[in-house]
Amino acid sequence: MRLFGRGNSGGLMNVIRCDEQEYMVWKWRPEGQDVNSTSRENSIRYGSSLRVKDGEVAVFVYKAQNGQMQDFIEGPFDDTIKTANFPVLASIVGMAFGGESPFQAEVYFINLQGNNQLRFSVPYFDVFDPRLPDHGVPMAVRGTITFNITDYRGFIKLNRLVNFDHEQFMTQIRSALQKYIKGVVMNVPLEMGLPVVQMERQILSINERVEGYLKPRIENDFGVNMKGFDISALEIDKESPYYEELRQLTAGNTARTMNAQTDVSIQNMQDTQRINAENMEGILRVQREEAQRAQRLQTETNFMGAHSLDQQTEVLKTGAQSLGQMGTMDAGGQGGGMNPAGMMTGMMMGGAMGQQMAGLMSTMGQNMQGCMNTPPPMPNVQYHVSMNGAQAGPFNMQQLAQMAQGGQLTPQTYVWKQGMANWEFAGNVPEFANLFAPPAPGSMPPPPPSTV
């Protein structure tokens, strides 16, 4: 604080300003005046200079004819105090003397830009786990809170400016923090379903929960703006016997849960393997039965003609024997003499039978030749197809060709058949080459001729 100039009555004029580096609320006093020393502590001369920096506000508290008054000068402001540029001072009692005598007013500077950071520590208090509601585990909470003053009118309504004590104000906030934080943290295990021994792992979630509860209450109680809140530590008294009991209970439940989950996973894997094995066994059985059936049909076809020839040969053999007997029988049907008529009849029947035998042999030969020239049935090749992450099939080559034409089967589709070690892209399987080959020139009909 410095003095300069002289007033109309010969007194020294003041420069009213705040030179403090860090402060929340600071009371201005004339040079050389201590707290509660004389009435001159609040004396302001007409013509004194007032300087208010940007980011602070000067509060004038004085007595007027209608009671105590407050006026606010927000920075930046730098000028002399006179009724022309400071009209509100015209109502001050001291001005009735034309400025010859100093008027009485208390001047306070409030910092609107500075951040106030307060470290807090909530001593050990019992936190109860829902599983053991009678076993309190001691816990301490430590951290910091950051606040500033934005609504200075609201701040003045809640706090005395006269003899404002910064440390006392911080002590009041610290006491409120302890009460509110303790009330929130004690209910965290029940409301969040969180075991006490795992609260340290959820410090961020708990911090958000406490901050949401604190902000409106700190601002309403003290008139400050809470800018930040940070819990740096949730400290459990691990020497407490109840802590060890809870830790074993939680660890046991965790181990049992992990074992149960492992058992379920193993059972699901075994069931999946069993189902896949059963499906594969059924597929192989059907393929084997189809192959055996095709082989039986081929065998029956090959030997059908031979069986028919055997039957007809037996018939002709019997007829030949009868013809031979006809030549040795007499006219009365008794043997012992030559029977010319029987011989002629036998010769005629024998010729017919010979022709029939020749025809049978020729037909048999043709049938056998046809069987020999008939190719064996195509192998029943079947593939499984991976569609949208799921296994489908099996499908034969005809079905796969239709799927390729419809776009369901592409060269990038995974396929598998019995004997393959792993799934493979269809485009890498030689059997699928014809399915994805572009049509040969001339294989597609040209556009129909125009009728115009």
Q: Per-residue pLDDT for the chain (452 aa), expressed as one digit of tens each?
A: 232 233 333 344 678 899 988 889 998 887 756 555 445 556 677 677 889 999 999 998 877 667 777 889 999 999 887 655 555 555 443 443 344 446 777 899 999 988 999 999 999 999 998 888 888 899 999 999 999 999 999 999 998 888 888 899 999 999 999 999 999 999 999 999 888 888 999 999 999 999 999 999 999 999 999 999 999 999 998 888 888 888 777 765 555 666 677 778 788 888 888 888 788 888 888 888 888 888 888 777 767 666 666 676 676 667 666 655 655 555 555 555 555 555 565 556 556 655 666 665 666 566 556 555 556 666 677 888 888 878 887 888 888 888 888 888 888 889 998 888 888 888 888 888 878 777 666 656 677 776 65
Tokens of 212: 């949401």
Q: What pLDDT does 121 receive?
A: 95
Identify the bridge partners of residue 142 per DSSP, sorted by sequence position: 121, 233
- Residue 207 near residue 192 (C-beta atoms within 8 A): no
Q: What is the pLDDT of residue 377?
A: 60
Q: How many angstroms separate the CA atoms of 17 and 58, rounded?
A: 9
Q: Which pLDDT belongs to residue 146? A: 96
Q: pTM, whole model, 2 decimals? A: 0.50
216 in Cβ contact with 265 (< 8 Å):
no
Give the span between the Cα atoms of 382 and 231, in whole angstroms. 66
